[in-house]
Structure 1
Amino acid sequence: MTALDEFRATLTAIAERSAAVKHTCANEESTKHFLILPIIGALGYDYTDPFVVQPEFAADFREEERERVDYVVMRDGNPIIAIECKKAGVDLAANRGQLRAYFSALQSVRLGILTNGTQFEFFADCETPNIMDTEPFVTLDLEAATRAPIAPDVLEAVSLVTQARFEPEMVAEAAGERLIAKRLRTVLMDEVRQPSEELCRLALKRVGVKNVHHASIKSRYTGLVRAAFEEALIMPVLEKLRAERAGSRDGDAEMGDTTRRVVTTDRELAVYRYVCRRLAYLAADEHQFAAIERVKYQDYIGKFVVYYDQLRKGRICDFIEGRDGYDKFVFPAPFGEIVTNSMRDIDEALRTVFAERVREIGAPGPAEMPLQQTA
């Protein structure tokens, strides 16, 4: 087992314990004691040693009524990490300003952690020295860690903060790269949903279409570029999956007649392809977008099942091909059966059920976004 594997195991064990005791954390002090200190310890900092971790550290220069940060991690007598704690369940985004003020007041601090015991946001000062960035470069979500393995990129980023590896310059460099990557993903997701005129013109120019009028871009070409974008994202997944299915059928040639009668039709594959394409458009955030690569299918005699990650728990819908141009989609309650000749009619059910499955099972981290399908 590698050091990162051991680190993941430690964090996962703490996550599972935190889930069991979270309901007892009715105030900030109990949240600190039961949920936050174990993570500080897992990062390698001895919170029983006042030369390593100090609580209620003064974060301004007033003599009376000083502002105090909940914990600081010390190095050579100076604070290098500031940790601001909130009660379990508190929205962290609304409290970033407080940590930002402490970060600036403590000139030697190079890393800030904001936490409510289950979510830990890590901040650096990539853009302006000694001014905390406005967004975290990584977030450790312990609730998600109880449902799915901690993403490799999240694990690596958090490991840089451990006592054994913490070097401010290295963390700042890694944080800067992650923030840029995060913003790029956001831009690309926006372009998938609604391609900008700039992207449309660039794409059209690359295929030899030039000097297109603004009105034509909006009325004619935006939809074409969006569809091509979705195709480019999903087709590699579909082709790989079809090849794997074909190989599986060849390998199972000696199985019984019932198995050999299951043949995935072009219409069923078109449904799978549509689901993936539409989810790329309907995804509410980058975590849902990343999760699309774990959407799979299972074919049976008489029905075709589309699911997320786990066949039973992750079931999205059953598809039953019709003979008169109308197909049947069966979604979990409250949607039930949808009989239609237009797949756009399933969008609302598809978006809602997929979001529920990702929330229940967990989504991959951003680094797990390459569009490859696993069998």
Structure 2
Amino acid sequence: MEFQNKIKAIADKIALLKEKIETEESTKHAFVLPFIHALGYDSFNPTEVVPEFTADLGLKKGEKVDYAIFQDNIPILIIECKNWRETLDNHNSQLFRYFHVTKTRFSLLTNGIQYRFYTDLEQTNKMDVKPFLEFDITKVKDSDIHEILKFHKSNFDVNKIVDNASSLKYTKEIKKCISEELISPSFEFSRLFANKVYSGRLTEKVMNEFTELVHKAFNQIIGEKVNDRLNSALNKESEKQQEDIVEEKPAESKIITTEEELDGFRIIVAILRRKLPVERINHRDTQSYFGILLDDNNRKPLCRLYLNTSNKYLSVFDENKKETKITIDSIDEIYKYESQLLSTVDYYIEDKN
């Protein structure tokens, strides 16, 4: 994630500064050197990063490549830089010459935005014409990040990168061919499918029809695949939301308020309303008891009823809020303890005064 953030910071810098960058040197300092730093190399250390690295070829002396990155005194990557405004298509021949006279297995051609990595897959010590890794740093994908990280100082392994380069290079070329065929199917591509489904003679007219049919069929398949993926993603999201709803649904309460408890509450209200307004007398049921409170405040219990047990109780409180349980046979016996209930109200009135 840290490396990805560094690459994003370079992309943001390019968007901010590129119109102010006029020269190749400015491109190097503003865009390319930060990329080298992101790879973990110190451009101020001449044993790691050598600017203007000499790459003499035969009798031609003074040939220099913009940067060479070293590891254990051996160049592992040579870098040729161009102005960010230039395309790279016309410059790989220069890098091709440099590659031949160095011991490196990798070269990089860049204008600070486009990056093209090369190696020698087809012929040893001879740079391939086509890059095995290519990306736009302002549009870099996660898959690109994964490959770029292999050039990081802490990860660099020549053999692993070369082994992977072949797969990268030819996968990229195959994807390019498939993309071209999807846009405009070639005669050979269309004939491949026509031979599988058509038993007649493949005349020019038939092939023209099949070229259109192949183009149409592939676009439909892609559209269907995209829709399937979208629907699958939407269904998973919907399922997840349903799971979240189920998870968030509160557990079913184990507290059941009985009609007997409510009848008992009505009796207590009838007694206490002599000294209290009805709205100040509230009940709150729990698993253990049915509580009657003053002003719906747990700290102001008026009494409690224990009616869901084998023995029934009325519980009253003294001035210190000490609870005393009184056995009752039925809620009608609550009337016998009218004075105790009213005394509890007096305690709260006295406290207030």
TM-score (norm 1): 0.58
Displacement, 1:193? 2.6
Query: CA 1:153/1:240 → structure 2, altered by over 3 Å: closer, same or farther?
Result: closer
Give the equivalent residue in structure 2 for 1:113.
108
Measure the CA separation in 2 of the matches of 1:240 and 1:83. 41
Query: CA 1:206/1:80 → structure 2, altered by over 3 Å: closer, same or farther?
Result: same
- Is 1:201 the equivalent of 2:191? yes
Measure the CA separation in 2 of the matches of 1:33 and 1:246. 49
Give the equivalent residue in structure 2 for 1:156.
146
- Is 1:137 the equivalent of 2:132? yes
CA contact (8 A) 1:58 1:67 kept: yes
Bigger Cα displacement from structure 2, 213-222 vs 43-52:
213-222
Measure the CA separation in 2 of the matches of 1:21 and 1:251. 43
Tell me the amino acid that sits aligned with residue 94 of structure 2: Q
Equivalent in 214, 235, 259 of residue 225 of structure 1:
214
Measure the CA separation in 1 of the matches of 2:138 and 2:229. 33
Displacement, 1:51? 1.0
Using the aligned pairs only, state the percent identity.
Answer: 32
Give the equivalent residue in structure 1 for 2:74.
78
Gaps of 5+ in 1: 145-149, 253-375
Q: Secondary structure at the match of 1:160?
A: helix
Q: Secondary structure at the match of 2:218?
A: helix
CA contact (8 A) 2:57 2:97 kept: no
Equivalent in 5, 8, 33 of residue 9 of structure 1:
5
Measure the CA separation in 1 of the matches of 2:32 and 2:240. 51
Give the equivalent residue in structure 1 for 2:163.
173
CA contact (8 A) 1:85 1:116 kept: yes
Q: Secondary structure at the match of 1:73?
A: strand
Equivalent in 203, 218, 228 of residue 214 of structure 1:
203
Displacement, 1:27? 1.8
Displacement, 1:250? 11
Measure the CA separation in 2 of the matches of 1:62 and 1:244. 60
Measure the CA separation in 2 of the matches of 1:247 and 1:45. 43
Displacement, 1:82? 0.5
Displacement, 1:198? 3.2
Query: CA 1:226/1:119 → structure 2, altered by over 3 Å: closer, same or farther?
Result: closer
Matches within 5 A, 1:22-37: 22-37=18-33
Equivalent in 33, 39, 54 of residue 43 of structure 1:
39
Equivalent in 202, 224, 230 of residue 235 of structure 1:
224
Number of aligned residue pairs? 242
Query: CA 1:64/1:198 → structure 2, altered by over 3 Å: closer, same or farther?
Result: closer
CA contact (8 A) 1:200 1:217 kept: no
Give the equivalent residue in structure 2 for 1:192.
182
Query: CA 1:215/1:161 → structure 2, altered by over 3 Å: closer, same or farther?
Result: same
Q: Which structure exhibits the higher relative contact order, with contacts defined as CA atoms closer than 8 Å and separated by 6 or more residues?
A: 1
Measure the CA separation in 1 of the matches of 2:192 and 2:163. 32
CA contact (8 A) 2:116 2:134 kept: yes
CA contact (8 A) 2:27 2:112 kept: yes
Query: CA 1:196/1:7 → structure 2, altered by over 3 Å: closer, same or farther?
Result: same
Query: CA 1:189/1:54 → structure 2, altered by over 3 Å: closer, same or farther?
Result: same
Measure the CA separation in 1 of the matches of 2:162 and 2:76. 13
Query: CA 1:204/1:77 → structure 2, altered by over 3 Å: closer, same or farther?
Result: same
Gaps of 5+ in 2: 242-353
Displacement, 1:169? 2.1
Measure the CA separation in 1 of the matches of 2:233 and 2:53. 58
Query: CA 1:62/1:239 → structure 2, altered by over 3 Å: closer, same or farther?
Result: closer
Pair member with larger Rg: 2
Question: What value does the CA root-mean-square deviation take over the aligned residues?
Answer: 2.8
